[in-house]
Structure 1
Amino acid sequence: MKTRLATLRDQLAEGLIERETPLRLALLAALAGEHLLLVGPPGTAKSELARRLRYAFRDAPLFERLLTRFTVPEELFGPLSIKELEADRYHRQTEGYLPTAAFAFLDEIFKANSAILNALLTLLNEREFDNGTERVQTPLICAIGASNELPEGEELSALYDRFLLRCHVGPVSAEGFDTLLDLRGTRPPEPPLALRLSRASLDAFRTEARMVVLPADVKALLKALRTFLEEQRIPVSDRRWRKIVYLLQVSAWSHGRTEASVWDGWLLQHCTWERPEQREAIFNWYQARLGTVSPAEPERFSKLVGALEKQLETEKQSRSQARNEKGQPLFVDGDETVTKPEGKRRKRGSDKEPLFLAPPDRQKDRTQGGKGMTREEVEDHFNRHYGYGRAESYIADKNNYFIEACQFPPLMEPTRYSAAHIQGRVRQLQELAEEFAQYRAGLDAQVQSVTTVVEEHLWIAPGFSRPARSSLEQRQAHAGILSARLEKLRDGFKALPQDAT
């Protein structure tokens, strides 16, 4: 099927310039039973895309119509049968009109008036048409709507929501303009009948596609995208999310895969925007998440490693009171180490000089209110009252020292940790390293899949593999840095001071 679809895709794209993406989206929409909206100015090959799409299928009539505010239901759904009216029955002759078409191109679709809007909604979504009192199934495979402008007004929001895939189509770029000038009026390619898909093969394909599994990383991608869209205030209905899931299943099954891939998520940018300028933001968000799987996202690893680095630094800087061999806490008394927290020591002044008690013959409070006397004050006192040189014996007598009760500061040393604590930290790092290794293995596998999956993907636009590979390689470089930090952390925790007991 993949080879067949690739051949169909390439043949249908022949002669179209810079229209690879809308054509791929159109073919994918047909496979999934969804509809495509093309937004852009006139003359950008929007109708040509619809006309070519029908050639991917056998016996697939196309209905096309330009809508205006004056378009009447008869132009889309067929005229009323005069014969049936004569028999008092309301019945349309639908042959050759939208209810009998396999493909439809509805230009300026948002100009549809209320007279045809409800019938159009039912036909697009349920593939049913109310013809008088009878509701009939329609063979519609895919409708392509075109508009020069986006819908305005709540009455058109339901119609807008019917188009799961949306693509802005602009004029040919300056790079493709020379090719445009060289085009000649050739007949559009028509793939051989044997290559085209039949209705039976399409029905079987769609049934089988529903069996495709959505793995955890794809579900995580969709959950994260929903959060991002809510933050950007871009509404996506629950119905659209269900259709998006099936579109990813169809994308995977068209490649013969039984599991959807994050690479199929490239399509999300064309399913979730409300205004064309939002598509680029959604694409940038998707590209930034390449290489991430749930729950091992690089942001989480970075936060965990950063938190552990802070914890290691805290534990390295931590100080605890030292103890002797008997386990007694130690304190500092000057240059000595003691085991008692309380004691006595000589009081010193603000200049760190030792203080003396006042002579008892002159002072009732020898401490002088706790201030004491400096050596200079003692000598001055003795010189004035007893003569010069009489202070030396007083100063030399230790009984005259100003002694005070004090609390000795604890002797601090780097905190020593138990073997169980250090082993617990190392084990925590080992578990994180194993989880990180799985993340790196998945990242390496995605880098390899750029060649095996992305470049061979039926629906991803050409040229995406280069930025995809670049983004993944940046994540690989970041992962290498985180791996080195993890190794350094492990060595750091192993080197923490250990309690000998």
Structure 2
Amino acid sequence: MSTVRSTTATTAHIAFIDEIFKCSTAALNETLGYLNERIYHPESGGEPIRCPLIGAITASNELPSGEDTAAIYDRLLVRIEVGYLADPSNFAALVRSAVSRPAAPTRTTVELAALRHAVTEAVPAVDVPDAIVDAVCTLRAALRRRELIASDRRWRQSVGLLQASAYLDGRPAVAETDLSVLTHVLWDSPAQRPTVEREVLHLVNPDAKEALELADTIEELEAQLDAMAGQSREALSEWVIKKAHNQLATAGKRLEKLREEAATAGRSTAAIDRVTGRQRAVRARVLTEALGMDASMVQAQL
């Protein structure tokens, strides 16, 4: 942390640390103490400063690769990978936003006293039934069979995350649906995330589980499209007519149905929406690259 940032950090209740893994080893150690013990050791020496930090959000354009960053990476409980826009309609909205006046953002504020009460009293008071403990143990065993090992620290901290999920939903006890947040906790590399997600959804969300199975079909079709690069338009058209079009259309209809069923049952639609975005993106590629359709016409059809 620089002098200016450290001065701000010692008084912050919520901190944002950008490019956290680009710090020097010394700075990483200071940051680790700041996040773990809520203590900052001044660079110029002197007494350690106790910080009122409640939580921190970090960001990075790269994942850690060395032992010097492993400890701090393990302290980052929730991990969310943000990729480029895949859904053509979202990308179109991005392009339009460059030439239109953005709407004023909607702001949500929370009083500091209310936040402290939630963190120290309300969330810890949420009940964790034995059935949830059994489900977490089942999940851990399933991931170990796939050689995905999370530290005991992460498993213990994840219980608080489950309690927070239930609290934010206004419930006095953790339910199976809260387990879905663990898809953002129990992986180290992005390549592991789909496996973690599938194992979690086996327990809690049959709709999303089927959506991920449809995602395999969609990814296979995109791989086939990549492999056919350079082939004639006639060969590509034949592939679309005989295979790609029907499979993508069937996947799209089933995803719509799954989303409707999940929404009606009050289950999360996040995974289904993500797969739907991939289906739309692959369908757009098929229509433009294989059939030669104009991009604006494709957008209208999507």
1:110 aligns with 2:26: no
Q: Is the 8 A contact 2:127 2:163 kept in 1?
A: yes
Q: Deviations over 1:46-104 (max 9, x none)?
A: xxxxxxxxxxxxxxxxxxxxxxxxxx643532xxxxxxxxxxxxxxxx2xx22223333
| Residues 174-323 of structure 1 mapped to structure 2, 5 A cutoff | 174-175=87-88, 176-183=90-97, 184-186=100-102, 189-191=105-107, 196-206=109-119, 207-290=121-204
TM-score by length of structure 1 reads: 0.40
Instruction: Report the alpha carbon displacement of residue 106 of structure 1 after superposing the two structures with TM.
Output: 2.5
Structure 1 residues 262 and 450, CA gap change in structure 2 (3 angstroms): farther
2:60 matched residue in structure 1: 147
Q: Counterpart of 2:57 in structure 1: which amino acid?
A: I
TM-score by length of structure 2 reads: 0.64
Give SS of 1:105's match: strand
CA–CA distance in structure 2, aligned partners of residues 234 and 185 of structure 1:
46
CA–CA distance in structure 2, aligned partners of residues 187 and 124 of structure 1:
35
2:270 matched residue in structure 1: 461
Structure 1 residues 178 and 187, CA gap change in structure 2 (3 angstroms): closer
Gaps of 5+ in 1: 1-71, 78-93, 293-447, 468-501
Q: Is the 8 A contact 1:218 1:261 kept in 2?
A: yes
Q: Deviations over 1:397-444 (max 9, x none)?
A: xxxxxxxxxxxxxxxxxxxxxxxxxxxxxxxxxxxxxxxxxxxxxxxx
1:98 matched residue in structure 2: 9
Structure 1 residues 115 and 129, CA gap change in structure 2 (3 angstroms): same
Q: Counterpart of 2:168 in structure 1: which amino acid?
A: S
CA–CA distance in structure 2, aligned partners of residues 452 and 138 of structure 1:
43
Structure 1 residues 450 and 138, CA gap change in structure 2 (3 angstroms): same
Bigger share in strand: 1
Instruction: Report the alpha carbon displacement of residue 253 of structure 1 after superposing the two structures with TM.
Output: 1.1
Gaps of 5+ in 2: 207-260, 277-302
CA–CA distance in structure 2, aligned partners of residues 229 and 462 of structure 1:
19
Indicate the structure (1 or 2) with the bigger Cα radius of gyration: 1
Which stretch shifts more, 153-162 or 173-182?
173-182
Structure 1 residues 142 and 187, CA gap change in structure 2 (3 angstroms): farther
CA–CA distance in structure 1, aligned partners of residues 50 and 111 of structure 2:
18
Structure 1 residues 229 and 174, CA gap change in structure 2 (3 angstroms): same
Q: Is the 8 A contact 2:177 2:205 kept in 1?
A: no
Identity %: 34
CA–CA distance in structure 2, aligned partners of residues 202 and 158 of structure 1:
27
Structure 1 residues 115 and 263, CA gap change in structure 2 (3 angstroms): same
Q: Is the 8 A contact 2:40 2:51 kept in 1?
A: yes
CA–CA distance in structure 1, aligned partners of residues 34 and 188 of structure 2:
23
Bigger share in helix: 2
Structure 1 residues 291 and 283, CA gap change in structure 2 (3 angstroms): closer
Structure 1 residues 138 and 461, CA gap change in structure 2 (3 angstroms): farther
Give SS of 1:104's match: strand
Instruction: Report the alpha carbon displacement of residue 182 of structure 1 after superposing the two structures with TM.
Output: 1.6
- How many residues align structurally? 217
Give SS of 2:59's match: strand
CA–CA distance in structure 1, aligned partners of residues 165 and 148 of structure 2:
24
CA–CA distance in structure 1, aligned partners of residues 271 and 62 of structure 2:
27
CA–CA distance in structure 2, aligned partners of residues 104 and 226 of structure 1:
31
Instruction: Report the alpha carbon displacement of residue 271 of structure 1 after superposing the two structures with TM.
Output: 0.4
Q: Is the 8 A contact 1:73 1:115 kept in 2?
A: no
Q: Is the 8 A contact 2:180 2:204 kept in 1?
A: no
1:74 aligns with 2:11: no
Q: Is the 8 A contact 2:38 2:51 kept in 1?
A: yes
Q: Deviations over 1:234-282 (max 9, x none)?
A: 2311111111000000110112211101101111110010001211111
Query: Which of the residues 264, 271, 295 maps onto 1:451?
Result: 264
Which stretch shifts more, 234-243 or 149-158?
234-243
Give SS of 2:40's match: strand
Q: Is the 8 A contact 2:39 2:50 kept in 1?
A: yes
Q: Counterpart of 1:115 in structure 2: which amino acid?
A: A
Q: Is the 8 A contact 1:249 1:260 kept in 2?
A: yes
CA–CA distance in structure 1, aligned partners of residues 103 and 46 of structure 2:
43
Q: Is the 8 A contact 1:252 1:259 kept in 2?
A: yes
Instruction: Report the alpha carbon displacement of residue 462 of structure 1 after superposing the two structures with TM.
Output: 7.3
Instruction: Report the alpha carbon displacement of residue 118 of structure 1 after superposing the two structures with TM.
Output: 1.6
1:311 matched residue in structure 2: none
Give SS of 2:190's match: coil
Q: Deviations over 1:111-158 (max 9, x none)?
A: 111221121001112222234443333233332222222111111101
CA RMSD of aligned residues (A): 2.9
1:173 matched residue in structure 2: 86
Q: Is the 8 A contact 2:183 2:193 kept in 1?
A: yes
Q: Is the 8 A contact 1:235 1:274 kept in 2?
A: no
Give SS of 1:250's match: helix
Q: Is the 8 A contact 2:179 2:204 kept in 1?
A: no
Give SS of 1:454's match: coil
